[in-house]
A and B are shown apart, each in its own frame.
Chain A
Amino acid sequence: MSVMGATFVRNWRITVRAYPWTYFVGTLATGVLTIGVSMLAYRAIGGGRVGASFTAATGSADYLGYVTIGAAALTFTTRMVLWVAKAQITEYREGTLESQLLTPARRLPYLLGVTAQALSTTAVEITVLVAVAGVLGVRLSVPEPLTLLAATVAATVAVVGMSVPLSALMLAAGEAHITQNTLFTAMALLCGFTFPTSYLPQAARWLGEALPVTWALRVLRAATLPGADVDPWPAFAVCLLLGGAYLLVGLSILKPAERRALHRSARA
């Protein structure tokens, strides 16, 4: 607990002193412009209507609400992954990974501290995004507030679960740019952020099913889509199971990845 608290406080200080504005503007722009394109297409081309396939797949005709929630969820996911998965490679690049390995602190509380701090800043960023969407004229409703809370829990478990093996991968490869952007573009396609996954070809759909974020999104849709009458709890359970499995795999490969990173910096 003390490791988690200390990491939380340290990361808050870093954020307050040197907030990464360009990252923030970049991710916010991606979200806002995704909503913008959908809105312009919906009004100028669709005439304020969508095809029957969308209504059949989602149980709702609220296309703009669907895309806005998806864009906000994608912003949440990318920002959280940037924080949690890149925590250790940032230590490595700044030369503090050795100190981290020398302390008796365990990895999981450290990563949870990073997660807690990331959640607090990401919440602010998502609020800004949703407010901008509101100014643009998107009306959102939350028919199931309790389910929304569950969706936030599910999304956090999913993101942390995916970030830990990713962190190991980045440390082992000594590279973050390609890994993170490949994951972001793949997730944007496979997980059903801005369109229902039933649009995808069968093989791609299976890939999406293997990612916990896809299941977290199902809980989120149940909470936010008016008229989507689905039971969110099976998806919630699958999300926690999958996220937990990713987390366990990640923690088990973190040690060899750290060793590899150390050997690399010793050689350099």
Chain B
Amino acid sequence: MSHALRVVAAEALKQHRRLFGQPLVLFSMLLWPLLTLAATYYTVLPVMESAAAPQRWPVAADPRRLLAFLAAGALAYTFFFSLVQSAWHFSFERVSGTLEALFLSPASRMALVIGNGAAALTQNAWLFGCFAVAAATAADVLDVAHPGMYVVAAVALLVPAVAWGAFLNSLLIFSRDSAFLYTLLDDPLWFVAGVRLPLFALPVWIKVVGLAFPLTSSLVVLRGALLDRADLGDLVVPLGWLALLTVGLFGGASALLRLGEARVQRTGGLQVF
């Protein structure tokens, strides 16, 4: 166990040194999400101002609550998307030839992919901090049952996100084409996960697809705990589902890593793509 922890720490430190302080992080984690959040808010505003909207969705009646709803969505989405980005960076290991070196080392493969994702997340902790400060400044927007729910919200966001990152990283053992990650998991992810709309507005089949992604349930917990005064009892279903998904993603990542490694040992694929 201590060996695995050392690998996680080393890999996380490596990622930190690679990424931290780079302008890209500031843009992709703060500026772009903020601009997109504002554009989304204004785009749906005409609908929210319709006379029918407040009966169908009470949040629509109050622009501040609407903005908080969308901001929570943007925050969770940005967290999960940072994992997509970390997987993208992981694919550079293959391009620069260091992926093979990683697999020659005795390091636990699972620890490597967890460390990689965990680093991306800890670097975004400041983002969560900014959100918390901004939300606290607009104090009447937050509606929290008790302080413990902040911890629940943070855990429900962080742990599934690390599992998600490990899973995405393990996928890249099979392919060097990381562009599909960006294409498949950028826009479609926010659409099916209810980042910009309440889940009731989505058709059933999109809801079903959305449930397969941990972001959807993380977001239910985050919004419930921080904006709707939900306590642990109210959120037991999404939390249970999140726990299942997390275990499934870690299990899937571990299986993929083993399969992928066996395959590249046979094909030499780590070196020659």
Contact = CB atoms under 8 A, between A and B. Distances in A.
Interface stretch (A119-127, A164-172, A176-184, A212-220): A176-184
Contacts of A48: 52
Contact of A51 (B24, B50, B191): B50
A69 B40 CA distance: 16
Contact of A46 (B52, B191, B200, B203): B52
Contacts of A189: 35-36, 38-39, 42
Nearest to A61: B46
A81 interface: no
A44 interface: yes
Given A54-B46, A67-B43, A49 B197 contact: no
Contact of A36 (B32, B39, B51, B191): B191
A26 interface: yes
A47 B201 CA distance: 11
Interface of chain A, helix or strand or loop or mixed?
A: helix
Interface stretch (A86-94, A141-149, A194-202): A194-202
A29 interface: yes
B42 A199 contact: yes
B46 A50 contact: yes
A30 B51 contact: no
A44 B196 CA distance: 13
A54 B43 CA distance: 10
A22 B263 CA distance: 26
Chain B CB within 10 A, most for which of A25, A40, A41: A41
Contact of B53 (A26, A45, A53): A45
Interface residues of B, number: 42
A195 B43 contact: yes
Interface residues on chain A, size class = 35 or more
B71 to A, nearest CB: 15
B39 A42 contact: no
A49 B52 contact: yes
A37 B197 CA distance: 7
A38 B24 contact: no
A185 B39 contact: yes
A41 B51 contact: no
A33 B49 CA distance: 21
Contacts of A186: 35
A145 B37 CA distance: 34
A188 B35 CA distance: 8
A152 interface: no
A52 interface: yes
Contacts of A100: none
Given A33-B188, A37-B191, A45-B60, A51 B48 contact: yes
A177 B201 CA distance: 34
A47 B43 contact: no
B204 interface: no
Nearest to A192: B42
Contacts of B45: 51, 53, 195, 199
B140 interface: no
A25 B184 CA distance: 9
Given A51-B46, A53-B46, A54-B46, A46 B39 contact: no
A224 to B, nearest CB: 17
A40 B201 contact: yes
B113 to A, nearest CB: 23
A50 B50 CA distance: 5
18 contacts: A22-B182, A26-B182, A26-B183, A29-B183, A41-B44, A45-B52, A45-B201, A49-B50, A50-B49, A177-B24, A178-B27, A181-B28, A181-B32, A182-B31, A185-B32, A189-B38, A189-B42, A194-B39
Interface of A: 22, 25-26, 29-30, 33-34, 36-38, 40-54, 63, 67, 177-178, 181-182, 185-186, 188-189, 194-195, 199-200
Given A49-B52, A185-B32, 6 more contacts: A25-B183, A26-B182, A37-B196, A38-B44, A41-B197, A195-B39
